[in-house]
Structure 1
Amino acid sequence: MATYLVGSRASNLAKAQVREYLRPLRERFPDTAFTHRVILEGGDKDRRSLLSDVSVVNGGSAFSNEQEAALSRGDVDVVVHSLKDLPTANPSGLMLLPPPGREDVRDALCGSTLAGLRKGARVGTGAPRRIAQLLAVRPDLEIVPIRGNVPPRLKKIETHGLDAVVLAAAGLHRLGLDDAIGELLPLDLFPPSPGQGALGIQVRTDDSSAPLRRMLSTVGDVAVDAEIRAERALLAELHGGCSVPVGAYAETLPDGELRLFGQVSSLDGTEQISATLGGPSAEPEKLGAALAAMLVGLGAHSILDAVRVALAAK
């Protein structure tokens, strides 16, 4: 019996994502064993720093570096990430496979609705994109930086005297915490992080991994793969990352074409530039690059430059 080691972060959400991913594989390949191995990331060890301060380490992600290193060494055979945690460039010798569908891409406001928030309400989130989008709609809000896994962040509504927190709907759904959702935030005002809601299935590119890649490809969704590739190409062209307020969402239209929406925000939400572009699903990277160029032409470069200067000065 072939045995493969599957790596992930240590959180309950990461474990739930691995179970979700392996379920159809175990049904299709009953003679293959998949063993889960937890890998502790730098961003999980550092619970004090702000998300914007720990998200990028040595050009990579503090929430994926250790997993990618373990995969490159051969300590594990495949890693199941939250795709939004991954940098847009794969390390040499690694690649992403099409994910098995996609959860709800939207952000969720937990503890209240937008309309139900009092003036000056205290809302918890550590993501610059979410902060910018909230302030663009409700500049009166007091944003409280929070970090941690999903249940502890929800708990901070009580322990930190918050009126609400913003979390990815996908994580809430996967953990069975749908009852915590007060409102799913609209995509036109709150476009998600590129790749949000999708799993990042990362493997090695060497010949010995070919049988595993073929096996994993049987559960991949090519339409979703095109969507996330377009979103990540947009982010890459804008030289964005977890610390830069860029939102993107691609969807496959009935005729098979892709439609990509992108948004760039200043850190305080006072400036926002958005645009939409369509293109063939067979060329998602070209669509992402073309929309990035359109946003730059509309003035996004000045917003992004100001964001980078502000982040560098912190």
Structure 2
Amino acid sequence: MAQYLVGSRASNLARAQVREYLRPLRERFPAVTFTHRVIVEGGDKDRKSLLSNVSAVSGGSAFSSEQEAALSRGDVDTVVHSLKDLPTSNPPGLVLLPPPGREEVADALCGSTLSGLRKGAKVGTGAPRRVAQLLAVRPDLHIVPIRGNVPPRLKKIETEGLDAVVLAVAGLRRLGLEDAIGEVLPLDLFPPSPGQGALGIQVREDSATLREILSTAGDLAVDAQVRAERAFLAELHGGCSVPVGAYAETMPGGELRLFGQVTSLDGTERVSGSRSGPAAEPEKLGAALAAELVGQGARSILDAVRAATAVS
């Protein structure tokens, strides 16, 4: 009987994602044993520092570096990530498999609606992208930096006197907390992190048998979508600390449509655009849209963001 160790972060959401991923695989391969193993990440140990600082200390992503290292060492056989947490390049010897389906990609405002927020309302979020997008639409808002897992961030509405917090719809649904949603934010104004709502299934390149097993769960349409989004982000040299949003959708004819946006930290500058292209060439589509936004001034916006982040 084949046995495989499946790694993930320690949060309730990460555990729910592993259960979601393994359920059909266990039914499809009853002779295979999958055992879950928790790996604590730098971003989970340090809940106070800026994520960009945590990432710098870890030498990679605040929410994936320890898991990738464990996978490379052979401590686990595969890792189930939130794809939006993964850098756009894989460490040597590791590969990403097509993700299984996808949850809702949008962000949600919890505790209120946008129009229902009073002038100067306090809204909690720790993501530069969400901060920038909120200020672009409501410059009067007072943004309160918050970190942590989904339930504690929701609770801060009460414990810290916030009017609302911004969270991913996908995480809320996976935790059964959809009732907390006050408003699903419109994608044209609040495009999500590239890969949001999708799982990142990472394995060692040389794990041929396991790759074959896990590939049966992959959704090729979703794979094309997230590859376009991540290529867009990669071309802009972005990461979790820059306000870049993107989402791709598969059109009825099979083409991909990709929408992307870059916003200044204070929300005063914003460039966006969309392009369509063959689903068989998602990276080409992502790179083309990034070039279009660079032509609109995206590079100078991102350079200013990086300079401000370095100073802070």
> Does the alignment reach a TM-score above 0.5?
yes
The question of whether the paired residues in 2 share the 8 Å contact of 1:250 and 1:260 is answered with: yes
The question of whether the paired residues in 1 share the 8 Å contact of 2:59 and 2:65 is answered with: no
SS in 2 for 1:268: coil
Shift of 1:55: 4.2
SS in 2 for 1:240: coil
Task: Report what 1:145 is aligned to.
Answer: 145
The question of whether the paired residues in 1 share the 8 Å contact of 2:269 and 2:301 is answered with: yes
TM-score by length of 2: 0.99
Shift of 1:62: 1.3
SS in 2 for 1:61: coil
Q: Deviations over 1:132-162 (max 9, x none)?
A: 0000000000000000000000000000000
Q: Distance in 2 between matches of 1:59 and 1:47?
A: 17
Q: Deviations over 1:231-261 (max 9, x none)?
A: 0000000000000000000000011100000
Q: Distance in 2 between matches of 1:27 and 1:278?
A: 37
Q: Deviations over 1:232-291 (max 9, x none)?
A: 000000000000000000000011100000000101110000010011000000000010
The question of whether the paired residues in 2 share the 8 Å contact of 1:55 and 1:243 is answered with: no
The question of whether the paired residues in 2 share the 8 Å contact of 1:95 and 1:205 is answered with: yes
The question of whether the paired residues in 1 share the 8 Å contact of 2:107 and 2:192 is answered with: yes
Q: Deviations over 1:55-100 (max 9, x none)?
A: 4545410110000000001110000000000000000000000010
Q: Deviations over 1:33-64 (max 9, x none)?
A: 00000001111000111334334545410110
- What amino acid is aligned across from residue 106 of structure 2 in structure 1? R
Q: Deviations over 1:192-235 (max 9, x none)?
A: 000000000000001xx111101101010000000000000000
Q: Distance in 1 between matches of 2:112 and 2:83?
A: 27
Q: Distance in 2 between matches of 1:103 and 1:28?
A: 21
Q: Distance in 2 between matches of 1:17 and 1:226?
A: 21
Q: Distance in 1 between matches of 2:47 and 2:129?
A: 20
Task: Report what 1:243 is aligned to.
Answer: 241
Task: Report what 1:258 is aligned to.
Answer: 256
Identity of aligned residues (%): 83
- What amino acid is aligned across from residue 104 of structure 1 in structure 2? E
1:53 paired with 2:45, answer no
Task: Report what 2:25 is aligned to.
Answer: 25
Aligned counterparts, 1:232-311, within 5 A: 232-311=230-309
- What amino acid is aligned across from residue 297 of structure 1 in structure 2? G
* Runs of 4 or more above 2 Å deviation: 50-59
- What amino acid is aligned across from residue 232 of structure 1 in structure 2? R
Aligned counterparts, 1:74-153, within 5 A: 74-153=74-153
SS in 1 for 2:95: strand
The question of whether the paired residues in 1 share the 8 Å contact of 2:42 and 2:58 is answered with: no
Task: Report what 2:155 is aligned to.
Answer: 155
SS in 2 for 1:60: coil
1:187 paired with 2:187, answer yes
SS in 2 for 1:95: strand
SS in 2 for 1:123: strand
Task: Report what 2:6 is aligned to.
Answer: 6
- What amino acid is aligned across from residue 229 of structure 2 in structure 1? E
The question of whether the paired residues in 2 share the 8 Å contact of 1:51 and 1:147 is answered with: no
The question of whether the paired residues in 2 share the 8 Å contact of 1:109 and 1:167 is answered with: yes
Task: Report the aligned-residue RMSD.
Answer: 0.8
My pick for the range that moved more, 262-271 or 56-65, is 56-65
Task: Report what 2:43 is aligned to.
Answer: 43
My pick for the range that moved more, 131-140 or 299-308, is 299-308
- What amino acid is aligned across from residue 242 of structure 1 in structure 2? C
SS in 2 for 1:87: coil
Number of residue pairs matched by the alignment:
312
Q: Distance in 2 between matches of 1:298 and 1:170?
A: 31
Q: Distance in 1 between matches of 2:146 and 2:300?
A: 28
Q: Distance in 2 between matches of 1:151 and 1:51?
A: 19
Q: Distance in 2 between matches of 1:201 and 1:60?
A: 18
- What amino acid is aligned across from residue 210 of structure 1 in structure 2? A
